[in-house]
Structure 1
Amino acid sequence: MEQFQDLLLKRSLPLSEQVVEAYYRYPRHLFVPEYTLQEAYEDTPLLLYKNGNFVSTISQPSFVMRILDMMQLAPGHKVFELGAGSGWNTALISYIVGPEGKVISSEIIPAVADRARGILDQMRITNAKVFTGDGFEGYEPEAPFDRVIFTAGSFEMPQKLFAQLKEDGLMVFVKKQEKKNDMLQLIKKTQGQMQVLNSIPCSFVTVNRSLGSHLQDGTL
């Protein structure tokens, strides 16, 4: 296992020490038990769930860790994650923000949310919670958030969720564009407005939303 982990990490460097520590604390293969060790540590996305338009993947690991570095996470931060997926990214963030911090993660696909919750429970991670529902609504009871991260792409910016970001807080938003690459944007909230600090071409699954969605199993 360690040889696969080390090889993947070497491809992903440079990374901050806190991200490297989180990577070894919560190994990726534990979040994709349906795949082999070799597959789990290939630097590629892996499919978790597909049913019609509803698709969930675990993202390319080197990109996941690069994004975590971009977010400038710190102990005590409260983070909102749109798209829990496998729960791996949730776990990495939970480690970096520490016991004083908190991660609130939304997942629109009930089966995927249940899967992520089960793995996080097995890991005994107590500062991260996953709810089943529309991430565009954010989670008002825990707002405001120091950081917001998208793990799926969207053509529209969720204004309600942006309003729940603290002043000077950072948001990682994946902007979908017709007939063009997706763009991962690092956005800072400055005087209530969006300031794009960085923009990187990428490819993510598209956000799914449900009409009149509500919190289901795992309500916080």
Structure 2
Amino acid sequence: MNENNEILISHLKEKELLNSKELESAFRIIDRADFVTEDHKVEAYEDYPLLIGFGQTISQPTTVAFMLELLDLEKGDKALDVGSGSGWTTALIAEIVKPQGKVWGVEIIPELVEFGRKNLAKHKLPNAEIIQAGKQMGLSEHAPYDKAASWSYP
């Protein structure tokens, strides 16, 4: 594991934001650096949002840890990840709910759909998929979901 990722995880644990062993394990396996643009690789382990293009960001690690702890994901959950962007949160969720669980990330910006898919492919998560969303940020064909996270707002 990357030493900088370990420092980030220690930071999140000190803030008491990584309480479940499943989420901590997901943060260890799903490296944020795999989901940022090349020009932000050196900042991948910093605790702030980073631009990923098209006016969008990859969320701050403390925000992601806080929200995913609240989501209380379990193995086998069927989840929706709204505003999947770089695919980082989609991958974290997929890591937690596998092997029987599934997560669908939805994104409205076509270039970010491709960016997210490319990033997901680095982790070979067959239970994760990023879908191009229409004007409505949902995916009713796979509903109902056990859990849903939204990183976007109108």
TM-score by length of 1: 0.64
Q: Aligned with 1:136: secondary structure?
A: coil
Query: Contact conserved, 1:73 with 1:97, CA < 8 A, in 2?
Result: yes
Kindly provide the CA deviation profile for residues 12-68 of structure 1, in whole angstroms up to 9, marking residues without a partner as x: 112111111001111110111414544000100000112xxxx22100012101111
| Percentage of identical aligned residues | 36
- Residue 49 of structure 1 is aligned with which of 53, 65, 80? 53
Corresponding residue for residue 22 of structure 2 = 18
Cα distance between partner residues in 1 of 2:135 and 2:69: 22
Amino acid at match of 2:46: E
User: Paired residues, what number?
Assistant: 150
Cα distance between partner residues in 2 of 1:30 and 1:87: 10
Higher percent of residues as strand: 1
Cα distance between partner residues in 2 of 1:152 and 1:128: 19
Q: Does 2:45 correspond to 1:27?
A: no
Structure 2: segments with no counterpart, 5+ residues? none
Cα distance between partner residues in 2 of 1:120 and 1:82: 15
Q: Aligned with 1:126: secondary structure?
A: coil
Q: Aligned with 1:145: secondary structure?
A: coil
Give the greater-gyration-radius structure (CA): 1
Cα distance between partner residues in 1 of 2:137 and 2:39: 33
Kindly provide the CA deviation profile for residues 179-204 of structure 1, in whole angstroms up to 9, marking residues without a partner as x: xxxxxxxxxxxxxxxxxxxxxxxxxx
Cα distance between partner residues in 2 of 1:116 and 1:42: 20
Amino acid at match of 2:26: A
Higher percent of residues as helix: 2
TM-score by length of 2: 0.90
Q: Does 2:44 correspond to 1:40?
A: yes
Structure 1: segments with no counterpart, 5+ residues? 154-206, 208-220
Corresponding residue for residue 93 of structure 2 = 93
Q: How does 1:51-200 map to 2 (within 5 A)?
A: 55-134=55-134, 136=136, 138-153=138-153
Cα distance between partner residues in 1 of 2:35 and 2:135: 21
Cα distance between partner residues in 2 of 1:35 and 1:130: 23
Query: Contact conserved, 1:47 with 1:58, CA < 8 A, in 2?
Result: yes
CA RMSD of aligned residues (A): 1.6
Cα distance between partner residues in 2 of 1:118 and 1:79: 20
Kindly provide the CA deviation profile for residues 116-174 of structure 1, in whole angstroms up to 9, marking residues without a partner as x: 11121232111111111137352222110001110112xxxxxxxxxxxxxxxxxxxxx
Cα distance between partner residues in 1 of 2:135 and 2:25: 28
Cα distance between partner residues in 2 of 1:37 and 1:131: 25
Judged with a 3 Å threshold, the aligned counterparts in structure 2 of structure 1 residues 86 and 146 are, in CA distance, closer, same or farther, namely same
Kindly provide the CA deviation profile for residues 69-127 of structure 1, in whole angstroms up to 9, marking residues without a partner as x: 11000001000111111101000000001120010111000000011111212321111
Query: Contact conserved, 2:79 with 2:148, CA < 8 A, in 1?
Result: yes
Single out whichever of 117-126 and 92-101 deviates more from structure 2. 117-126
Cα distance between partner residues in 2 of 1:145 and 1:123: 23
